[in-house]
Amino acid sequence: MHGFQLRVAYQGVPGAYSEAAAGKAYPNCEAIPCDQFEVAFKAVELWIADRAVLPVENSLGGSIHRNYDLLLRHRLHIVGEVQLPVHHCLLALPGVRKEYLSRVISHPQALAQCEHTLTKLGLNVTREAVDDTAGAAEYIATNNLRDTAAIASARAADLYGLQILADGIQDDSSNVTRFVMLAREPIIPRTDRPFKTSIVFAHDKGTSVLFKVLSAFAFRNISLTKIESRPHRNRTIRLVDDANVGTAKHFEYMFYVDFEASMAEVRAQNALAEVQEFTSFLRVLGSYPMDMTPWCPSRGDHQVP
Ligand SMILES: O=C(O)C(=O)C[C@]1(C(=O)O)C=C[C@@H](O)C=C1
């Protein structure tokens, strides 16, 4: 960026996996902690940050629906993705033993990703959700809680002076979270490297639209990497159109699809032209380079050396 340091908003406090994802997406960036996902969206909209890096899906816990809803409500563009291996540790104050614990706190996704391992460890604990993993570690340190452990990264242990009681407690060693990078402007799609495109669509009447939309991709040999439906029965959603005008609309379901093609490719443009004919609402969330970095399931970014 020619000496310009990119400011990247993420949800959580230092030591959160989202901070690590921001660093992976934009090495040497200035990572800006935000207490809620929506604050990260707003930070970019208000020019406090240049990008936001937000989790959208975990290999164990599934989709992070809140961010899909926020993508619809805000007018930011997906400009990239990063896959981050997530390696969880059980952290407590120095000197605390597992037998003393009565509570484990963490981000709901992290609790879900360690559900079986926590049971296998034989801990007699209640599980409580907090805003982020590193925030859980910070809370224990600040309040000197000797009966509580956090599920968080090894970096969070370092930052908040906690010890690691158990290492690699995620239920699956190949636990990985996919993050998207968001910006105010879309990037120009290219064809010189593998691209992915994310769209969201809905139809006023019924759900048969799904079959027609999927066939538009199938006939052009475009692979889908994700399909997600979000029920919106009895709920309206605030949509923002190309003129940045917000309207409240009611759809029974919203469908999110990621496909492996760039919007610079004619076959992708034709597929979307067809999709537009079948749907009442269609938005391209972004067309961006795929994260192709291979990762090793047995050792995550957050392991103790
Ligand atoms: O709490 C954190 O550390 C986060 O970055 C959030 C988050 C998530 O929202 O899924 C990110 C990655 C892990 O899957 C667990 C938690």
pLDDT band at residue 204 using 50, 70 and 90 as cut-offs = confident
- 8 Å CB contact between 30 and 44: no
Structure confidence by residue, pLDDT tens digits, 181-194? 999 999 999 999 99
The pLDDT of residue 52 is above 90 = yes
**Cα–Cα dist 77/185, whole Å:** 6
User: What CATH number is associated with residue 118?
Assistant: 3.40.190.10
**Shared-domain flag, residues 278 and 147:** no
**Shared-domain flag, residues 134 and 217:** no
Give the distance (Å) from ligand 1 centre to CA of residue 13: 11
- With a pLDDT cut of 90, the percent of the chain lying above it is 75
Cβ neighbors of 12 (< 8 A, separation 6 or more) are 18, 19, 33, 34, 107, 131, 132, 133, 134, 135
Three-state helix/strand/coil letters over 134-193: HHHHHHHHHCCCCCEEEEECHHHHHHHCCEEEEECCCCCCCCEEEEEEEECCCCCCCCCC
As for how many domains the chain has, the answer is: 3
User: What CATH number is associated with residue 234?
Assistant: 3.30.70.260
Number of the ligand 1 atom closest to the C-alpha atom of 177: 14
Domain containing 106 equals 89-167
What does the pLDDT average to over 196-209? 84
Give the distance (Å) from ligand 1 centre to CA of residue 108: 8
The pLDDT of residue 294 is above 70 = no
**Shared-domain flag, residues 193 and 289:** yes
Out of 91, 177, 180, 302, give the residue to mutate to test ligand 1, the one with the largest number of ligand atoms within 8 Å of its CB.
Answer: 177
Helix (H) or strand (E) holding 268: helix 266-278
- Mapped onto helix, strand or coil, the DSSP state of residue 216 is helix
**Shared-domain flag, residues 59 and 100:** no
What does the pLDDT average to over 235-243? 63
CA angle 279, 239, 203 (to 5 degrees): 20
So what's the pLDDT on residue 71?
A: 92
Query: pTM of the predicted model, to two decimals?
Result: 0.89
How distant, in Å, are the alpha carbons of 241, 245, 246 from that of 236?
Answer: 15, 16, 12
Greater pLDDT, 239 or 20? 20
Please name which of 87, 40, 44, 42 lies closest in space to residue 64, comparing C-alpha atoms: 40
**Shared-domain flag, residues 227 and 123:** no
**Shared-domain flag, residues 66 and 181:** yes
So what's the pLDDT on residue 298?
A: 41
Structure tokens at 156: 């969070």
Residue finishing a domain among 118, 136, 167 = 167
So what's the pLDDT on residue 230?
A: 82
What does the pLDDT average to over 114-131? 93
Structure confidence by residue, pLDDT tens digits, 59-82? 988 899 889 989 988 999 999 999
pLDDT band at residue 47 using 50, 70 and 90 as cut-offs = very high
Residues carrying an active site annotation: 177, 179
Structure tokens at 112: 């879900």
Domain presence at residue 298 = no
Domain presence at residue 118 = yes
Residue nearest to atom 14 of ligand 1 (CA): 177
pLDDT band at residue 206 using 50, 70 and 90 as cut-offs = low
> Which residues does ligand 1 sit against, CB inside 6 Å?
12, 16-18, 55, 58, 64, 86, 107, 109-110, 132-134, 177
The pLDDT of residue 296 is above 60 = no
Please name which of 72, 66, 73, 31 lies closest in space to residue 52, comparing C-alpha atoms: 31
**Shared-domain flag, residues 110 and 29:** no
What does the pLDDT average to over 32-53? 97
So what's the pLDDT on residue 152?
A: 98
Lowest mean pLDDT among 83-87, 237-241, 301-305: 301-305
Residue finishing a domain among 122, 157, 185 = 185
The pLDDT of residue 105 is above 60 = yes
Out of 11, 17, 130, give the residue to mutate to test ligand 1, the one with the largest number of ligand atoms within 8 Å of its CB.
Answer: 17
